Copies of this chain bind each other. A is one copy, B any other.
Amino acid sequence: MDRNSVGQVTPKKFTFAQKGDPMVLESGRTLGPVDIVYETYGEPDDTRSNAVLICHALSGDAHAAGYHDVHDKRTGWWDTMIGPGKAFDTRKFWVICSNIIGGCKGSTGPSSINPETGEPYGLDFPIITIGDMVDTQKRLIDHLGISRLHAIVGGSMGGFQVLEWSLRYPEMVRSAISIAFCARLSAQGIAFNAVGRSAITSDPNWQNGHYYGEPGPQQGLAVARMIGHITYLSEFLMDSKFGRRLQSADRLSYDFSSEFAVESYLNHKGSTFTERFDANSYLYITKAMDYFDISRAYGPLAEAFAKATARYLFVTYSTDWLFPTEQSREIVRAMLSTGRDVSFVEIESGYGHDAFLIEVEKLDRILSSFLCGIVERDPTGESDERFVCQ
């Protein structure tokens, strides 16, 4: 066990929007009650001003660090970044990670019971947006008695939530860190998501979303995940990791088995994903990603960020072709044009989009420096001395 681990943690649940007071979503539809599952690491300081909110990506969950049970083989998904002495140093920060609505990891989603029918929502679950995810997090942050977050951070779709937070609730965000992200999906990004959804909805076991208690569209979900995985890895990484290597033979098999190592890898990734993820959640979350568009909601980028007050840090990866650096540069340029406080780092990495989960050493250094810098430079004077870096 990593001696800098946060140790054993227990997920908590916060429920709001109870009967008679549902949450109104961006679509105009309502949802309630809403459960939010979350975890916390470290402790709040006296004024609860040391909170850091971690926003997870498509298939993530609230379990960002530590372990639930001493027998767990895997730690939380960003355990490398959260703990004593790590970037999100739990000796300084009160780190919170909550699970998005629409998912299948405890927060309310399409597999939750619809109180109106007593059955799982399925496709009766309303379409949700990144803004709706942020609104639920806001309710949780209020509930935890936090008036301003020291930092909000997230990679990929987590980075979308960070941007949305900083524009929707600017007064609550001291610093915003988006990693491997964009301000809106390109046509190609939408295309990949759309094909993934087609794979699911064309699986006859999908049954228009009402498959709970039955096998479900596992094959379609596996194909969707395989498509996603291609976009998460760089071409460089795929070539160096797999190349044209055969999985278990020297000679071509002349049949349709998954004989190339890269085929076998993708098949494995696809099938294991179906054991831990709900196909309807995949539909809802990718749709939320497609809808995310800073400019549609807040106007042209320069105008959108003119109202923002957070200190921003943007981190991209040189071989991320899903959300290429150039898309982030566009946001940086727009922000600089109106004098926003933004730092920008492109990390040289061969790992593609997934680098933020894999290549953590450089990221750790950058985030540590940035989080310290915030405290030292914080013009509000709210800083707790304990934050100042050694």
The 9 A-B residue pairs with the shortest CB-CB distance, nearest first, are A202-B219, A187-B238, A27-B254, A194-B263, A127-B254, A187-B242, A187-B262, A195-B226, A188-B235
Please list the residues of chain A having a beta carbon within 8 angstroms of any beta carbon in chain B.
27-29, 123, 126-127, 184-188, 190-192, 194-195, 197-199, 201-204, 219-220, 222-223, 226-227, 230, 235, 238-239, 241-244, 252, 254-256, 258, 260, 262-263, 266-267, 270, 283, 287, 290-291, 293, 296
For the complex, give the distance between the alpha carbons of A258 and B290 in Å: 11
Contact yes or no, B235 A267, CB < 8 A: no
Contact yes or no, A187 B244, CB < 8 A: yes
**Which of chain B's residues has its CB closest to A296's CB?**
B244
For the complex, give the distance between the alpha carbons of A52 and B257 in Å: 37
The 8 Å CB contact of A256, one of B197, B199, B254, is B197
For the complex, give the distance between the alpha carbons of A283 and B134 in Å: 44
Shortest CB-to-CB span from A187 to chain B, Å, is 4
Contact yes or no, B185 A244, CB < 8 A: yes
Which residues of chain B are within 8 angstroms of A188 by Cβ–Cβ distance? Answer: 230, 235, 238-239, 262
Shortest CB-to-CB span from A211 to chain B, Å, is 14
For the complex, give the distance between the alpha carbons of A293 and B252 in Å: 12
Contact yes or no, B244 A222, CB < 8 A: no
Which residues of chain B are within 8 angstroms of A267 by Cβ–Cβ distance? Answer: 194, 198
For the complex, give the distance between the alpha carbons of A126 and B123 in Å: 43
**Which of chain B's residues has its CB closest to A199's CB?**
B223
Contact yes or no, A194 B127, CB < 8 A: no
Which residues of chain B are within 8 angstroms of A291 by Cβ–Cβ distance? Answer: 252
Given A185-B244, A188-B230, A230-B192, CB of A126 within 8 Å of CB of B198:
no
For the complex, give the distance between the alpha carbons of A91 and B195 in Å: 45
Shortest CB-to-CB span from A321 to chain B, Å, is 8
For the complex, give the distance between the alpha carbons of A270 and B187 in Å: 17
For the complex, give the distance between the alpha carbons of A243 and B238 in Å: 28
**Which of chain B's residues has its CB closest to A205's CB?**
B204
| Best-surrounded residue of A29, A199, A220, A262 (most CB of chain B within 10 A) | A199
Contact yes or no, B263 A190, CB < 8 A: yes
Contact yes or no, B256 A194, CB < 8 A: no
18 A-B interface contacts by CB (under 8 A): A27-B252, A127-B256, A187-B235, A187-B242, A188-B230, A188-B235, A191-B230, A191-B266, A194-B226, A195-B223, A195-B227, A195-B266, A198-B266, A202-B203, A202-B223, A203-B219, A223-B223, A244-B296
Shortest CB-to-CB span from A268 to chain B, Å, is 12
For the complex, give the distance between the alpha carbons of A149 and B298 in Å: 62
The 8 Å CB contact of A187, one of B27, B194, B239, B252, is B239
Given A127-B254, A201-B256, CB of A190 within 8 Å of CB of B223:
no
Contact yes or no, A255 B127, CB < 8 A: yes
Which residues of chain B are within 8 angstroms of A242 by Cβ–Cβ distance? Answer: 187
Shortest CB-to-CB span from A240 to chain B, Å, is 9
Shortest CB-to-CB span from A286 to chain B, Å, is 10
Contact yes or no, A244 B184, CB < 8 A: yes
**Which of chain B's residues has its CB closest to A255's CB?**
B127
Contact yes or no, B293 A244, CB < 8 A: yes
For the complex, give the distance between the alpha carbons of A371 and B163 in Å: 56
Given A187-B243, A256-B283, CB of A195 within 8 Å of CB of B230:
yes
For the complex, give the distance between the alpha carbons of A262 and B270 in Å: 25
